[in-house]
Amino acid sequence: CHLIHYLRLSHHLIVLNYLICTFDKLNSVSSEDIKITDAVFDGVEVRVFEPPAKGDESLKRGVVYIHGGGWALASARTSLYNNLCRIMAESLNAVVVSVEYRLVPEVCFPEQYYDALRATKHFLQPDVLAQYSVDPSRIAVSGDSAGGNLAAAVCQQLSKEEDLTIRPKLQALIYPVLQAFDFNTPSYQQNMNMPVLPRAVMINYWIDYFNGNYDLAHELLINNHTALNVGRALSFRARLNWTSLLPPSFKKSYKPVVQSTGTAAIVEQLPALLDVRAVPLLADDATLARQPRTYVLTCENDVLRDDGVMYAKRLERAGVPVTLDHFHDCFHGCMIFTVWPTDFSAGVQTRNSYIKWLDENL
């Protein structure tokens, strides 16, 4: 893929996603248990999973699900996400709307965010919920990894829109990526070379999402973009102070990496680094206080572990009921790996815990 990119035949992410989807993309095939249809919600493609109607129940629960993949890979139609959403629909007796947002490099931030927001707002309309027999008071917004990023950003925006008559009851974030401010949190240091998501790869995903240049990767890695002389970053520093937000068991003996002098021009080139729509962990306390009951799943062997833990702590401090579900022996991305040949026990364990929380709270 990188050779094709180097030869300027195509972007490496286009090639990689083509390979993933060519061998894995599924058409919408319904069964007796679940009806699967592809639809368009306000210009955004979605896949809808509907359980059959039960005689003793008039309305179902609803879940908007936003898939991961670094804003660049995967699809609502791949077998891994198709399987996850089908099981969610069956287990919860819920209508699951899986959002097929556009990907890097076709579009970059903020288009993925707008796609997720438009699809969610469309589903929240009373007539649409009535069409799918969904209870307006029992809706969750959820996503994993980059999809968790989009889910958190969407929930923050929905909480600010005063004209909305229907709002999510819950948000459920699976090993979400929530900040590009500090690439030296303890989990980034501890897991910098950990598959499936090494630190360098995550930084490149951010650069691609912001349509930036890979030449900036090293500057980001050493936190030059948020050095003490970068005025625009100073006001956000307290919101991502992991020394006060993480428990000792996560901080271990790691030390903060704070440059006294950095490169302010990076934020000028990539202003989205400090945009809360891309970096939900930067939101102010007033916004966080308006968020719905929240579930955050984190894995020990994951550079993004501390993103989720810090967000859970900030939400808790803002008065939001939060469940932090941490798995000590699991890795980033594990929840979708429940189908042969990647049927891992970690995937089943995390998926069951996630669905159990939704079942008890939605």
Query: Residue 97, Cβ neighbours under 10 Å: how many?
Result: 28
302 is catalytic: yes
DSSP code per residue over 200-267: HHHHHHHHHHTT--GGGHHHHHTTGGG-TT-HHHHTTGGGG-HHHHS-HHHHTT------SS--THHH
145 is catalytic: yes
Q: Residue-wise over 25-62: b if at least 16 C-beta within 10 A, else e?
A: ebeeeeeeebebeebebbebbbbbbbbeeeeeeeebbb
Q: Which of 144, 302, 306, 307 is catalytic?
A: 302
Structure tokens at 106: 């076709």
Strands 44-50 and 94-100: antiparallel
Beta bridge pairs of residue 289 = none
Length of the chain, in residues: 362
The sign of the dihedral angle between the CA atoms of 46, 47, 53, 56 is negative
Peptide bond into 198 cis (omega under 30): no
Q: Which of 145, 182, 306, 325 is catalytic?
A: 145
Structure tokens at 54: 């039960």
DSSP code per residue over 253-289: T------SS--THHHHH-GGGG-TTT-GGG--HHHHH
Instruction: Classify 194 as helix, strand or coil.
Output: coil
Query: Tokens 């939060």 sit at which residue?
Result: 322
Strands 44-50 and 35-41: antiparallel
Give yes or no for a contact between 313 and 340, defined as CB atoms under 8 angstroms apart: no
Give yes or no for a contact between 148 and 298, defined as CB atoms under 8 angstroms apart: no
Query: CA 202 to CA 137: how far, in whole Å?
Result: 36
Q: Tell me the catalytic residues.
A: 145, 302, 332
